[in-house]
Chain A
Amino acid sequence: MRGGEVLRSALVGQWRCAAVGAVLATGHQAGEALVPVLIGVVIDEAITPGDGRALLVWIAVLAAAFAGLSYSYRFSFRLAERASEQAAHELRLRITRRTLDPRGGAEAGRLPGELVNIATGDAKRVGAVHVAVTAGIAALAGLVFGGVALLRVSVPLGLLVLLGVPPLLGLAHLLGKPLERRSAAEQERAAHASGVAADLIAGLRVLKGIRAERAAVDRYRRTSRESLAATVRAARAQAWHDGGMLTLTGVFIAVVALVGGRLAVSGDITVGQLVTAVGLAQFLLTPLSILSWANGELAQGRASAARIASVLGAPPAVERGDGVLPEPVRGAVRLRGVSCGDGVLRGLDLDVAPGEMVGVVTTDPRAATWLLRLLGRSADPDSGAVEVDGVPLATLDPAEVRRAVVVAEHDADLFEGSLLENVAAAAGDGGGVRGAMVAAAADEVAANLPQGAATLLAERGRSLSGGQRQRVALARALAADAPVLVLHDPTTAVDAVTEERIAQGLREVRRGRTTIVVATSPALLAAADRVVVLDGGAVVAEGSHADLIHEHPAYRAAVLY
């Protein structure tokens, strides 16, 4: 998928709002251009001849112009905003849907923060293209309207303004370009100071732990001074740019006044038309700067659309399948000659009987990761097959696989919501939630929270300690009550006393269903029916924890020291 498609589909989706908005915005620009014209007309028609009736008539026209420009601004802006927000909203949902798609693959090579930025910042910028397009069309119309009005006043004066304004803005652009580049770099350095401050505050506990407060403050002061110098340089450059723009505009008005005045002296235009011309010359600067702004927004929107397209078009990690598992799922897991991950697993054979609880100890952490990916079908093996109840997982839809096999990763995330909502998230009818909480010792976690299990977990559980988080995540996996449950290091941050309790609870609550525990914790391995040791990508030993501890020195070394 290309960025252009994303941009086009966003624009097409909201074209009605955007089109009506553009028409109204054009009305607004016309109204704004009309005001200086009408001021000139009042001077010519009412004030110069002293005509009271004309005054009333033209004031009424002015009122109508104001009403028109005010209402058209109001509704054009609202429509453009609506189109922009709506488009951003829809893109946000498409990105979310693609990321969460059971086939996976969208987050490959991206940090979570980056994906969130794409779903918020980039979606917003693509949406904002509606505002830019609406405003740009209106500015173009304003330009035409002002130009025509000027040409009607006087052809030479109109040509002077119309041909003079673009080079003027071009000059300003040239003047601003190097400043902009320099200032962007310096602004970045300036933003750095705020970033460092936030970073030090985020590490407050760590700093206090080693009494490094003073060193941190000294360092911050240096950073802050450096960025102060950079910002002041940038601000001064910006100030001279602003001043330069003012001068350019002023000189331009002077030229218009001189030429217009000479035309008026020679009787080609009236005094009122002179006033109008000066007013229009000033007015025309606005639509032109809107056009260049809209152009910049479009460029940003295109870049954002490309980033969104790369997420939406990311190749899936695994393909869909149309096989089905026989009901009910018994939970027999079999790996046949499985190789993957450039030799991380090499011809692995492993059988787990229905209802068995098997511990898996891997000497290579990558082997554990791959085993989990294969069992949950986040990836398919390079060769060999992974089967559940005799059905190769590669023939099943990933969602169908996960109906039978729940993989609980070591670093599983908790979600917004209460502790109980988190635990019950994947529980079908919610019957096993209580038992799962007790088995995972998450009931103790709840008991220590102010509102018990109903306590909201702030920052997705970051308000809990690592051990508490693990227990809640484990309870959630148990509550899902899957025919096959795969756990990875579920208790590394849990104290030994509680871990012992969890090991027993786990056995109890999983009785009769298949459980695979990938871990090195002696407490958990001791609770398993059988322990399998993987080394060099294949099984090198198996037996009970007690036997392996006594008979297998390598195993003893792996789990006990």
Chain B
Amino acid sequence: MTVTDERALAAPVEGERGEERELLPTASGKRTWAAVRELARPHRRTLMGGFAALVAATAVGLLTAPVLGHVIDLVAAGRPASALTAPAVWLVVIAVAQGAATAYGLGLVARAGEGMLAALRERFVERALRLPLERVERAGSGDLTSRVTNDVSVITSVVREAVPALARSLLTIGLTMVALAVLDWRFLLVALLAVPIQAHTVRWYARRAVPLYAAQRVAVGAQQQELLGSVGGAATVRALRLEDEHVGRVAARSRAAVDLMLRGARLSTRFYSRLNLAEFVGLSAVLVTGFLLVRGGSVSIGTASAAALYFHNLFTPINVALGLVDDAQSATAGLARLVGVADAAPAPSPVRDAPGQVGDGSVRVSGVGYSYRPGHPVLHDIDLHIADGEKVALVGASGAGKTTLARLIAGIHQPDRGHVAVGDGSGSRGDVALVTQEVHVFAGPLADDLRLARPDATDEELRDALARVGALEWALALPEGLDTVVGESGHRLTAAQAQQLALARLVLADPRVVVLDEATAEAGSAGARALEASAAAAVEGRTALVVAHRLTQAASADRIVVLDGGRIVEAGAHDELVRAGGRYARLWRAWSDGRDGGADG
């Protein structure tokens, strides 16, 4: 697929992300299993040891039934009560051995499983962070997020709960069948009568369960979204008197989810009912066989009892194993999505990961054109030279191409035509940092958040960076200062504080060239002023391109570039442009004069 073809599938326009999505890849079944084998390789010994211990535990456990059978035989043979002590002691020995081997085996399996999980998580995070931003955006940011949250948690719970349960159940089933055969091969043969019913039931169930559970997840997700919107936006709902409508919407979403949950309950109860049939068929076949074999004199009553008890003991492991079928299926699907991302990421590129100083910090944009959709260019023939240490403000209406130009300079997009060079024309974009209005506070201590930008920064350097952007005061006033846990489940920062944090990170990252895309926009008018001062301090001494909403921010730049319809229509210092009486002058007059710029411009 060519670059333009790929773009045609999804065309985000200046921050707008529409409905068209090109999801991140999913690995094939073959590739997924290869990845599992790869993950398992370092743990081969542990896995084999754990498996062997579980086999031993199960085998020992199966001795219980014949020993009980022996007790029955002793009783039936009229032996004295003292003869029962030895088998009873054996039962205790079996119990202890089985318990110990099970614990040991489960411990080893868990160690291997958790190790594999950790490796999978780490590899996924590493590769996901290496994906080009353009690719992630084409898929919609929710795609990657849902993989790292939903898929990882499904796989984790399956590895932790389902895999050990499944392993023990399957071993019990397998070895019980062996034991049945040891008692008398005819017991095994008739016990297998249950298998066709079970096989059919599982196929019948899987066919219905997979789409139903998928629909359930969608419905529960929709309910969650609706509640987040209605309950989270309660103030807005009340202000616009939309209470009844929103209660109705929540009711509809909740009802839909409830209906699907009840369908799920009906399906799973029918599943287990059918398995009851298999239990009955198998058990009565074993009893009838026992009857015939005892009458024929080929087995003892004790043996027949043991066979019946064996089969009765199979009920639970079979139900457990078959009930895990859909868990296993959803984990496999999740795994394929994680492996798909891990495989899609490019090999680490030296440019991205090792920002070197590339000569001076000048930026040269020559003859650059760009379009998200073929035939719909967003930028035309942009020529722009930003001198080392110069501050340039980009002004223009939405859709004028400001963000696109900023992203081209930051290296997120590659130009269709022309080229963007940073420094001495080497073309490396490794020393350009981009801060947008999208703020994210990383969960954990505030100091750790800052150290993402410079891992070896001293506390002193952290404080200096915060002080520079005017954030030190509030940061030190947090309950535990820089050690305060912030982010998702920690101390909540305001939008303005979060943005100051982003600027402090920028100071620590210390790039030669900075692109600020509306980095002060989300704060509301009270915070915007303070943020503009922070931003100005953060870019001090660097080459800077600032996409500015507030004209006051543009006015303080060395040069202002006005974009319209993807072209540069005006450029110059604030005073020059005001004197020139063009577009920018009209805007500025409307601000500073209180008169409609259009009327006298």
Contacts and interface: CB of A to CB of B under 8 A. Distances in A.
B183 to A, nearest CB: 14
A102 to B, nearest CB: 6
Q: Is the interface of B mostly helix, strand, loop or mixed?
A: helix
A211 B509 contact: yes
Given A85-B262, A264-B75, A444 B242 contact: no
A185 interface: no
A468 B12 CA distance: 14
A196 B125 CA distance: 10
A408 interface: yes
B301 A47 contact: yes
Given A235-B110, A415-B229, A215 B440 contact: no
Which of B111, B144, B287 counts the most A-chain CB atoms under 10 A from its CB? B287
Contacts of A274: 71-72, 75
Interface string A459-479: 110011111100000001100
Given A47-B290, A520-B525, A560 B230 contact: no
Interface stretch (A292-300, A492-500, A533-541): A492-500
Nearest to B128: A201
A409 B235 contact: yes
B452 interface: yes
A462 to B, nearest CB: 9
A72 B114 CA distance: 40
A91 to B, nearest CB: 10
A243 B106 contact: yes
B435 interface: yes
Contact of A251 (B85, B92, B233, B288): B92
B353 A415 contact: no
Contacts of A201: 125, 128-129, 144-145, 148
Contact of B103 (A75, A242, A254): A242
A50 B94 CA distance: 33
Contacts of B277: 66, 70
Interface string A82-121: 1001101100110111011110101100011101100110
B397 A449 contact: no
Given A62-B280, A204-B129, A459-B225, A493 B522 contact: yes
Contacts of A243: 98-104, 106
Q: How large is the interface on A (under 10, 10 to 19, 20 to 34, 35 or more residues)?
A: 35 or more
Contacts of B218: none
Interface stretch (B33-41, B205-213, B363-371, B591-599): B591-599
Interface string A39-66: 1001100111010100100010011001
A93 B81 CA distance: 66
Given A62-B280, A409-B236, A497 B397 contact: yes
Contacts of A43: 290, 301, 304-305, 308
B241 A203 contact: no
Contacts, number: 559
A547 B309 CA distance: 97
Interface in A448-466: 448-451, 455-456, 458-460, 463-466
B451 interface: yes
Interface in B76-134: 76, 78-81, 84-85, 87-89, 91-92, 94-96, 98-107, 110-111, 114-115, 117-118, 121-122, 124-126, 128-130, 133
A365 B18 contact: no
A193 interface: yes
B137 to A, nearest CB: 9
Given A120-B224, A254-B95, A205 B438 contact: yes
B309 A275 contact: yes
A211 B455 CA distance: 12
Contact of A250 (B20, B91, B245): B91
B291 interface: yes
B458 interface: no
A459 B14 CA distance: 18
A423 B461 CA distance: 48
Contact of A495 (B126, B145, B452, B549): B549
Contact of B16 (A63, A71, A448): A448
A224 B118 contact: yes
Contacts of A466: 437, 518, 521-522
Contact of B455 (A70, A215, A227, A239): A215
Interface in A485-535: 489, 492-500, 504, 519-523, 525-526
A152 B18 CA distance: 72
B153 A100 contact: no
B247 interface: yes
Given A104-B238, A251-B95, A228 B273 contact: no
Nearest to A80: B265
Interface stretch (B194-202, B248-256, B419-427): B248-256
Given A409-B235, A451-B18, A523-B590, A215 B451 contact: yes
B353 A214 contact: yes
Nearest to A237: B107
A220 B301 CA distance: 62
Interface string A145-172: 0000000000000000000000000000
A504 B509 CA distance: 42
A236 B305 CA distance: 36
A328 interface: no
A403 B241 contact: yes
A228 B118 contact: yes
A324 interface: no
Contact of A100 (B117, B243, B433, B451): B243
A413 B236 contact: yes
Contacts of A193: 118, 121
Which of A69, A193, A197, A415 counts the most B-chain CB atoms under 10 A from its CB? A415
B294 interface: yes
B551 interface: yes
Nearest to A464: B16
Interface string B497-528: 00000100110010100000010011111101
B549 A467 contact: yes
B347 interface: no
A458 B17 contact: yes
Contacts of A47: 287, 290-291, 294, 301, 304
A200 B451 CA distance: 14
A48 B529 CA distance: 95
Contact of B19 (A101, A253, A455): A455
A261 interface: yes
A112 B223 CA distance: 15
A425 B242 contact: yes
Given A406-B239, A465-B15, A221 B122 contact: yes
A234 B84 CA distance: 40
B453 interface: yes
B581 interface: no
Given A214-B353, A250-B92, A449-B18, A496 B110 contact: no
A78 interface: yes
B81 to A, nearest CB: 5
A202 B587 contact: no
Given A100-B246, A492-B528, A560-B592, A48 B523 contact: no
A173 interface: no
B72 A275 contact: yes
Given A365-B524, A526-B594, A209 B129 contact: no
A205 B103 contact: no
B250 A112 contact: no
B318 interface: no
B13 interface: yes
A521 to B, nearest CB: 7
Contact of B265 (A77, A196, A218): A77
16 contacts: A47-B291, A66-B279, A92-B227, A112-B231, A116-B231, A198-B149, A206-B439, A211-B355, A212-B509, A219-B455, A232-B110, A239-B104, A243-B99, A426-B240, A459-B142, A547-B594
Given A255-B88, A261-B87, A545-B594, 9 more contacts: A62-B287, A89-B255, A219-B455, A235-B111, A242-B102, A243-B98, A261-B75, A265-B80, A465-B437
